[in-house]
Chain A
Amino acid sequence: MKYMLIMRATDETVAAFENIDFTEIMESMGKFNDDMVRAGILVAAEGLDPEGGVVVDYSAEPPVVTDGPYGETKELFGGFWILNVASREEAVEWARRAPLAGPGAKAEIRRVTSIDEFPQDNEWIQKERAWREATGQL
C-alpha cells in the first residue's frame, strides 16, 4: 500500500525553522530519508519551495489569483514522501520519526489511490494509463 506523508507547517513553523542551522536540517532529514531507503520502503520524496507561491481562489467566478500563501498561513504544504508499506500504522510509525518539530509543525498521512480504483472503460482513465505507460509514472 502506498501512503503519502505530507509535511504541514504554519508561518510560525517556517520562522522557527529559519533559526536552525541548515547543515543540521540536512543531516536530520538526510538520516530520516536514508532510514527509509535502508528499510526498502521509500518510493518518492520532494520538497516544496516556500518562496514565490501563488494561490488561486475559486470562491469567486472567475477565480482570484494572488501571491502567497503567506501573511496569515494556517497551513503550508512543505513537501511530501511516498512510502510503500504493509499497513497504515507503519506509515504512521515512519511519520513519528520524521525530523519535524516546532509550533504548528504537522505531518498528514493519506493513502495514495491507484488508477485501478477508477472505471477502466472510461476514455480518460485509458488516456491516463497510456501516459503512465509512456512515462513510467507511479
Chain B
Amino acid sequence: MSEYLNDFASLFDQYDVLGAFWVNIRLTFFAAIGSMLLGSLVALMRISPIASLRLAGTGYVNLFRNTPLTIILVFLVLGVWSQLGINLSEDFARNFFLYAVVGLSLYHAAFVCEAIRSGVNTVPVGQAEAARAIGLSFLPAARLIVFPQALRGAITPLGNTLIALTKNTTVAAAASVTEISALMKTMIEFRPDVIIAVFLTVALGFVLLVVPVGLLTTWASRKLAVKR
C-alpha cells in the first residue's frame, strides 16, 4: 500500500498536474467571459422587437445548442485552422488555446442566452411596459430595467452553465490544448500502474473546482433574487 502511495506521489513529480488544471481554470475563465458577452447579445436579439434579429438569435441558439462541443472544436481546428489556415495568434501553442476559448464560448453562449431568457421571463411584463411608458426605447429599457432584474433571476441557470463549462474544458484536448484530460491520457500511457489513482485525482480535482461554484451560485441566487 505504501509502495502504491509512493508510486502515486511520483506521478506529481513526473507530471505537472496542477499546471494542467490551471489551464482548465484559465479556459473556464476566458470562455465564461466570452460566452457571457456573446450569450447576452444573443439573448438581447431574441427578445428584441425586430423579427429578423429574433430569427437570427433563435437560429444561433438552435445551431450551437444542438451541435456537440467536440464537433465544434474539431471543426475549428481541422476546418478553420488546418484547411483555411487562419491563425489566431503568432504563438503556435497559444493559437490552439484561443481556438478552444472561441469554441467553448460559441457553444456555451447558446446556453447563457437561454439562461438569461429564462431570467427575463421572471421580470413582470409591467416592468417593460412601464419603462417604455417613461419614454425609454428598447435598448435603454433592456439595459436599465429588464436585464438587471433578469440577471438576478438567472443566477441559478447561469451557475449551471458555468459548471458545465468548467467540465467541458476537458474537450479542449481535441483542439491540442494540454489541459488535464490530455495530461490524463499521457499519464495513462506511461503510468498504467497507477491508473485508478490517476482517474480519482482528476475526478477529485473537478469536484474541488465545481462544488464551490455550485455553493456560490446557490448562495448568490438566494441573496440577490428580486423579491416579488
Asked whether A and B interact, the reply is: no
